[in-house]
Amino acid sequence: MIRIWYKGKMEKEFAAHEDIVRGFTEVPHLNAFASISNDEIVKMWSLDGTHLMDYVGHKGFVFACDTLETGEIVTAGDDCCVKIWDAGLCKQTIQMPRTIWSLSHNKLGDLIVGSEDKNIRTFTKSFVRRDEGPDCT
């Protein structure tokens, strides 16, 4: 269930997903929010709770989500994939070695991912700050 509150009063309650709701992220440029769930679906909602769109593509529980400054939605979870979405379409999938439990972004626009293998990884679009190590081809 998702409940929308305003000034201490519940305005709306609705069944949003077929399974546990794991989290949400505000999507300011759309005046909306996205919710994630064990049902493998990312759902976009208007601030009044109107369902706008489903983002389908994960093959396991979705544990983490964030909204980048570009307006892209980033999700990750049990399928060991980080997915970057734009306008409802998956524009990039980053395969990881283990389940992803958390993700965020920093002020530089880098994506920070924490996974079950006890590592935190940073992904950047910046050529200046990228890693040139042996694992980075």
Report the candidate in 48, 66, 134, 73 with the shortest Cα–Cα distance to residue 103: 66
- 113: tokens are 């991912």
Q: What's the mean per-residue pLDDT of the chain? A: 92
Confidence of residue 1 (pLDDT cuts 50, 70, 90): confident
pTM of the model: 0.88
Assess whether pLDDT exceeds 60 at residue 136: no
Domain positions in the chain: 18-123
38 burial (CB, 10 Å; 0-12 / 13-18 / 19+) is middle
Distance CA 90, CA 84 (A): 6
18-123 has CATH 1.20.1250.20 classification: no
Give the pLDDT score at 125. Answer: 84
